[in-house]
């Protein structure tokens, strides 16, 4: 005798099936502001049928969200390449990339190879390159002669500089002091001692700091008004300011700009890998990558996209990065477990110091 489903049970099953089907047609994207512009999303949806739900975030929040859910809630995330191997080793929040589903010929080969190497855990690749850029110095050349990070603490810039109380500032100061902090990643004791020294430098430097920045608007306003003469900040912020005031320039510091790469990574419990791979391949097409680059204000790992970008930005990049400066970029390697705890303790002491 066949059992019959009650209308309520049948309706519940149909609703569940409908929700599952809707999820199959949606890409839940955890990314940075500007990385998923509206026109790009609309074209992607038109071509593939996948809708895109965007949640903007940053490295710390991405790791926190994925750690809290064991890698659930999103189908694709965009952490920086140095924030994948460590969290994956500790928390297992990503799933390995299926490289057979990637159109590798769309990527700049050297950047693809480097990112695969930096995001490999247990012989498997967990990240692919997307947007890249640098941190360095933005200087009003009429009022400051700064050429390296240490100049943020020079007497002539007292009360007129800004920086973030974050790990890049500690690392930048270490390079400006003639040290290589990345070479000490495998030696927690030596790295801790170096960070303690840099923390003391930043504490002594507090008298020079007009304000520590967290948000873009305050920092840009400070440079525009002349309140700040020098700041440690990202390249495209400097180039944006340069358009309005040619005296303001982004400078690659003598000790090397700090280079970052934001990636594509698939969360461990993502439900729509098909949409994730479709979005990756779509975004690496040169014409699409150029649109995203214009929105984000940075260059991408898409081969040929640079030829389609704003000619003003291309010239600014060339001015800031002559060949020697380009070769001197210090690319962030994968962050081992425990390193950020060391840095966090040092930054807390700097923040609390009077």
In tens, the pLDDT along 141-197 reads 999 999 999 999 999 999 999 999 999 999 999 999 999 999 999 999 999 999 999
Strands 230-234 and 266-267: unpaired
CATH level 3 topology of 134-258+329-352: D-Maltodextrin-Binding Protein; domain 2 (3.40.190)
Which tokens belong to 338? 């425990």
In tens, the pLDDT along 77-97 reads 999 999 999 999 999 999 999
Which segments of 282-338 are extended strands (E)? Answer: 299-300, 330-331
Which of 275, 232, 301 shows the shortest CA–CA distance to 25?
275
- The owner of tokens 């010239």 is 315
Residue range 7-132+260-322 forms a domain whose CATH class is alpha beta
Which tokens belong to 66? 């994925």
- Predicted TM-score (pTM) of the model is 0.82
Mean pLDDT of the chain: 92
pLDDT, residue 19, reads 46
In tens, the pLDDT along 338-347 reads 899 999 999 9
Q: Identical fold at 7-132+260-322 and 134-258+329-352?
A: yes
The rounded distance, in Å, linking the Cα atoms of 217 and 327 is 31
pLDDT, residue 6, reads 61
Query: Sheet containing 76-77: which strands, arranged edge to edge?
Result: 51-56, 26-31, 76-77
The rounded distance, in Å, linking the Cα atoms of 237 and 324 is 22
**For the chain, domain boundaries:** 7-132+260-322, 134-258+329-352
Q: Is the pLDDT of residue 20 over 50?
A: no
Which residue(s) pair with 259 in the sheet?
A: 134, 331
């Amino acid at each position: 005798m066949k059992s019959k489903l009650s209308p309520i049970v049948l309706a519940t099953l149909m609703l569940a099936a409908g929700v599952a089907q809707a999820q199959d047609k949606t890409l839940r994207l955890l990314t940075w502001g500007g990385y998923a512009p509206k026109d790009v999303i609309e074209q992607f949806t038109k071509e593939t049928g996948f809708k895109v739900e965007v949640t903007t975030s940053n490295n710390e929040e991405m790791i926190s969200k994925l750690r809290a859910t064991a890698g659930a809630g999103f189908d694709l995330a965009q952490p920086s390449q140095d924030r994948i191997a460590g969290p994956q080793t500790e928390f297992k929040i990503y799933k390995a990339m299926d490289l057979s589903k990637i159109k590798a010929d769309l990527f700049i080969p050297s950047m693809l190879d480097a990112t695969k190497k930096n995001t490999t855990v247990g012989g498997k690749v967990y990240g692919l390159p997307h947007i890249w850029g640098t941190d360095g110095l933005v200087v009003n050349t009429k009022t400051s002669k700064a050429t390296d990070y240490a100049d943020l603490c020079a007497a002539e810039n007292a009360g007129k500089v800004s920086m973030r109380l974050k790990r890049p500032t500690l690392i930048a100061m270490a390079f400006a002091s003639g040290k290589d902090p990345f070479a000490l990643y495998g030696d927690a004791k030596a790295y801790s001692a170096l960070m303690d020294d840099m923390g003391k430098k930043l504490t002594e430097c507090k008298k020079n700091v007009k304000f520590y920045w967290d948000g873009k608007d305050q920092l840009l306003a400070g440079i525009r008004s002349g309140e700040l003469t020098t700041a440690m900040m990202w390249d495209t912020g400097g180039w944006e300011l340069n358009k309005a005031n040619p005296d303001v320039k982004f400078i690659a510091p003598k000790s090397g700009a700090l280079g970052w790469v934001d990636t594509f990574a698939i969360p461990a419990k993502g439900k729509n890998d098909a949409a994730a791979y479709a979005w990756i391949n779509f975004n690496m097409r040169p014409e699409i990558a150029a649109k995203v680059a214009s929105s984000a204000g940075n260059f991408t790992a898409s081969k040929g996209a640079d030829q389609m970008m704003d000619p003003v930005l291309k010239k600014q990049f060339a001015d800031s990065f002559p060949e020697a400066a380009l070769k001197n970029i210090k690319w962030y390697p994968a962050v081992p477990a425990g390193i950020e705890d060391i840095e966090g303790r040092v930054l807390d002491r700097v923040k609390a110091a009077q």
